[in-house]
Amino acid sequence: MTDSEDKSNHPNQILERLAALKDHYILCGAGDTGIFVAEEFRRRKAQLVVIEQNPQAIQQLQQKLGDNLLCLQGDATEDEMLELAGIKRATGLVTALSEDKDNVFAILTARSLNPQLRIVTRVEEPENKEKLRQAGADVITEPNTTGGMRMASQMIRPEVVAFLDHMFQVSNQAEKLRLTEVPVDRIQTPDLNSPELTIADIGQHTEFLIIAIKREGKYIYRPRGGTRLRRATEIHQGDILVVIATQAQLDKVTGED
């Protein structure tokens, strides 16, 4: 299928929205795994483009998440489809296709089009992990392993699992807690603009529960109040906070809508 044929299959309104996207995310596959991925991106208000071959799967996804969700019907392993989704301007790619070989092809194609892309994929057969890694995947998840660990935890630590489920799945979205990351350089609250920012300052001016600091690839767990936070410089990257907070609290501190 040519690029012009790809475009002719989608309304001009969709093409205009795609052309305006930058630093967005692309999801390949809207099946059983992909739908949960799409839901999480929607909760985080992240810009997402979904590529799915099955029109019924697209319809079900849009019925659940809204017609304004950008969806493209087509083959995610093809250059033209990924380019139409804005792969060269995207920040990240999630491949959740049902076959490992399809995920490999999608990753190879995406990596060749955007070497800086962050790629997360799923693997069905553990023996295919190395193929996915060689193709260019940054993170490989194993749904069967994750599901098995949760089942064991439900048996051994039922109260802990119940507590986490309640904390992260309350019906009121404004009160739902999230375990997430906040780059120090994205903190825009006026009270936190000091170059000498510390953990104590974060605790005083936000409602974040800080779990750790990621600094130069390593984690500092349970940081003390006097720990100074690094902003990005020409010498090193800025710190990233691992926190528990509601979306409203995150938006307030980072200045996002």
pLDDT digits (tens, 9 = 90+) for 81-92: 999 999 999 999
pLDDT in tens, 100-159: 999 999 999 999 999 999 999 999 999 999 999 999 999 999 988 888 888 898 899 899
Q: Residue 165's pLDDT band (boundaries 50, 70, 90)?
A: confident
Give the pLDDT of residue 90: 97
CB 178 within 8 A of CB 237: no
Average pLDDT of the residues in 174-189: 84
Average pLDDT of the residues in 211-224: 94
- Rounded to two decimals, the pTM is 0.75
The per-residue DSSP string of the chain comes to: --HHHHHHTS-HHHHHHHHH--S-EEEE--SHHHHHHHHHHHHTT--EEEEES-HHHHHHHHHHH-TTSEEEES-TTSHHHHHHTTGGG-SEEEE--SSHHHHHHHHHHHHHH-TT-EEEEE-SSGGGHHHHHHHT-SEEE-HHHHHHHHHHHHHH-HHHHHHHHHHH--S-GGG-EEEEEEEGGG---GGG--TT-BHHHHHHH---EEEEEEETTEEEES--TTPBPPPP-SSSPPPEEEEEEEHHHHHHHHT--
Residue among 115, 233, 111, 107 nearest 123 (CA): 107
What residues does each domain of the chain span?
3-145, 174-254
- Class of domain 3-145 as given by CATH: alpha beta
The sign of the torsion formed by the CA atoms of 247, 249, 254, 257 equals positive
Give the pLDDT of residue 257: 46
Average pLDDT of the residues in 28-54: 92
pLDDT in tens, 68-77: 899 999 999 9
Q: Residue 3's pLDDT band (boundaries 50, 70, 90)?
A: low
Give the pLDDT of residue 60: 93
Give the pLDDT of residue 59: 94
Residue among 50, 128, 55, 135 nearest 96 (CA): 50
Q: Residue 171's pLDDT band (boundaries 50, 70, 90)?
A: low
Whether the per-residue pLDDT at 233 is higher than 70: the answer is: yes
Give the pLDDT of residue 9: 62
Q: Which residues contact 164 (CB under 8 A, 6 or more apart)?
A: none
pLDDT in tens, 185-212: 988 888 888 888 999 999 999 999 999 9
- Class of domain 174-254 as given by CATH: alpha beta
Whether the per-residue pLDDT at 37 is higher than 70: the answer is: yes
Whether the per-residue pLDDT at 2 is higher than 60: the answer is: no
Measured between alpha carbons, how far is 71 from 53 in angstroms, rounded to an integer? 10
Give the pLDDT of residue 54: 95
